[in-house]
Amino acid sequence: MTQALPAVVVFGYLAVALALGVLAGRRGGGGITDFVAGDRAFGPVVMYFVMGATIFSAYALLGTPQRVVAKGSDALYIIAYGAVGFVPVFFFGAKVRRLGARMDFVTQAELLGARFGSRFVTGLMGAATVAAFLPYLVIQLKGAGMVMHAVTGWPDLWGAALVYAVVTVYVIVGGVRGVGWTNVLQGLAMLVVVWGLGLWIPHVLFGGVGPMFDRLVAQAPEYLTLPGPANVSDGAYSSEILVSVLGFSMWPQVFMKCFTARSARLVQLSAVLYPTFLFFLVPLLFIGWSAVLMGGPADDTVLLWMLERPEIVQGGGTAAFAFVAFAILAASMSTGDALLHAGGSIAVRDVFMGGFGRTLDERAQTRAIRIVIVVLAVLAGLLLSVADRVSVVDLLLLAYAVPIQFLPPTLAGLYWRRANRVGAQWGLGLGIGTVVLLFVLGQTAPALYSAVNPAGWQIGVIGGAVNLATLVLLSLCRPPMSDEHLRNFEL
């Protein structure tokens, strides 16, 4: 029976998530605003978990302990950027929520496209977003496949396919409410399991968290401060934090949740409470430091590796393994569902309708979004199946550079009267163009890339600088948009 426990927990959880998501789909008005923005009626509990669980992906669970083993206290950067990364939402979130309700926006690109009177802005943002989502989605599938392999022995692809079949169904049927309701379950699961395990593992192995650090101080103190075992420079650590801070609040699947809140003030409350989710990373660091003392592998299998230690297995390892599998799936699915839902909504609303100027009635929009969601899930599965030949990590570099490009037009659009269409179009176009060009150059002509970017700056930051400079310059050179237009945006 104990051997069957992980399978029982995992399949039980999948069944509950499916039921919850489908049940969520039976509530609400059923229109397009309902499917994409939950009729703008999410309450505080769902908002809290949506924001937290969407951001914490399978990568946070598997990657945080791995980073400690590989780079020591460099892993603190994950908490450091979270400390300020979400703060901008507190400032702009309420305004975004108000504008969305007043002018019927459900995506970030719709808001900016309207502010700058530009279909180009909406379409380009939408297309870049969907492209950025794909590798991010593949990482979530990879985590799910790995866990299902450990639980059932199936090939990774089959496990990922089953898990994401469940996700796809509840996203298609439940829309954003399906995403929201399941995220409450997934967020709770992550918090409880990760905290339980993060305290329990050091206790079993070393007699507690304090004694674990005593041993680290004595045996491997280099893992507790920079530069750490991988000799990370101060500049590299700092720029990791800054880059992550710049893009953090701009991820469209998170940004568009501002539109789902019941009130503008609730968006602010979500930003206030968000840091409490950050403390969830602390036990993952404890597990990482425990793994350092145990000589664990410096790759993303380290969390599962820890659970195979004889001391852990004897102390109740099967149950622990079952719940870790549950938590990793929860983390993968709570991010994956938001990516699929947002990806479908953005492809249809921003690229097809906003960018190409096509009109669809509400039913046709919802149908089209559902089709795109299935296509995205299948595409991610295909990418996973060739992931050993195509480096998903490289693609992620490109993905992380995209949201940074949205920062200049978003902040300028919301707060700067002079920001105009020409500035936003050229800024965004040149910014994204720079990122893509540098990425391609880095992949195909590394020598030339090093000559162009000798300091090794993040491509997102270079693109962002080009973007910002262009936006400011052209906005100052050309007249602002009309007062009447700007008044709609509270400017």
Partner 1 sequence: MLDPATRRRRTLGAVAWFFVSTLLLIAPIFTTVGNRIEPRVLGLPFSLVYVLGVVAVNFAVLGWLYATRSVDDDGEVS
Q: Considering beta carbons, is residue 83 or 313 the nearer one to partner 1?
A: 83
Q: Considering beta carbons, is residue 68 or 340 the nearer one to partner 1?
A: 68
* Residue 93 CA: distances (Å) to CA of 180, 264, 271, 412: 18, 7, 8, 14
Least distance (Å) between residue 448 CB and partner 1: 30
Q: Would you say how long the chain is, in residues?
A: 491
Q: Considering beta carbons, is residue 98 or 119 the nearer one to partner 1?
A: 98
Least distance (Å) between residue 83 CB and partner 1: 4
Least distance (Å) between residue 250 CB and partner 1: 16
Least distance (Å) between residue 443 CB and partner 1: 29
DSSP 183-215: HHHHHHHHHHHHHHHHHHHHHHHHSSHHHHHHH
Joined together, the tokens standing for residue 206 give: 């070393």
CA-to-CA distance for 236 and 233, rounded, in angstroms?
5
Q: Considering beta carbons, is residue 394 or 490 the nearer one to partner 1?
A: 490
DSSP 122-190: HHHHHHHHHHHHHHHHHHHHHHHHHHHHHHH---HHHHHHHHHHHHHHHHHHHHHHHHHHHHHHHHHHH
Q: Considering beta carbons, is residue 96 or 147 the nearer one to partner 1?
A: 96
DSSP 442-474: HHH-HHHHHHHSTT---HHHHHHHHHHHHHHHH
Q: With contact defined as beta carbons under 8 Å apart, do 197 and 320 qualify?
A: yes
Q: Considering beta carbons, is residue 41 or 472 the nearer one to partner 1?
A: 41
Least distance (Å) between residue 6 CB and partner 1: 31
Least distance (Å) between residue 73 CB and partner 1: 5
Q: How many CB atoms lie within 10 A of CB 87?
A: 16
Residue 144's nearest CA partner among 57, 22, 50, 21 is 57
Q: Considering beta carbons, is residue 278 or 435 the nearer one to partner 1?
A: 278
Element (H, E) at 112: helix 108-115
CA-to-CA distance for 307 and 253, rounded, in angstroms?
33
Least distance (Å) between residue 342 CB and partner 1: 23
Joined together, the tokens standing for residue 366 give: 């919802």
Least distance (Å) between residue 403 CB and partner 1: 17
Q: Considering beta carbons, is residue 214 or 308 the nearer one to partner 1?
A: 214
Q: Considering beta carbons, is residue 93 or 344 the nearer one to partner 1?
A: 93
Q: How many CB atoms lie within 10 A of CB 422?
A: 17
Joined together, the tokens standing for residue 266 give: 């609730």
Joined together, the tokens standing for residue 364 give: 């046709």
DSSP bridge pairs for 261:
42
Joined together, the tokens standing for residue 426 give: 């050229």
Q: With contact defined as beta carbons under 8 Å apart, do 126 and 346 qualify?
A: yes
- In sequence order, what are the residues at sequence separation of 6 or more whose Cβ sits closer than 8 angstroms to the Cβ of residue 184? 45, 46, 49, 53
Least distance (Å) between residue 222 CB and partner 1: 10
Least distance (Å) between residue 57 CB and partner 1: 20
DSSP bridge pairs for 42:
261
Q: Considering beta carbons, is residue 102 or 367 the nearer one to partner 1?
A: 102
Least distance (Å) between residue 228 CB and partner 1: 10
Q: Considering beta carbons, is residue 149 or 240 the nearer one to partner 1?
A: 240
Least distance (Å) between residue 244 CB and partner 1: 11
Q: Under the rule (CB under 8 A), what is the footprint of partner 1?
A: 40, 73, 76, 79-84, 87, 90-91, 94-95, 98, 101-102, 208-211, 213-214, 216-217, 221, 224-226, 234-235, 237-238, 241-242, 245, 262-265, 268-269, 271-272, 275-276, 278-279, 282, 285, 490
Q: Considering beta carbons, is residue 183 or 268 the nearer one to partner 1?
A: 268
* Torsion sign, CA atoms 465, 466, 470, 473: positive
Q: With contact defined as beta carbons under 8 Å apart, do 439 and 401 qualify?
A: yes
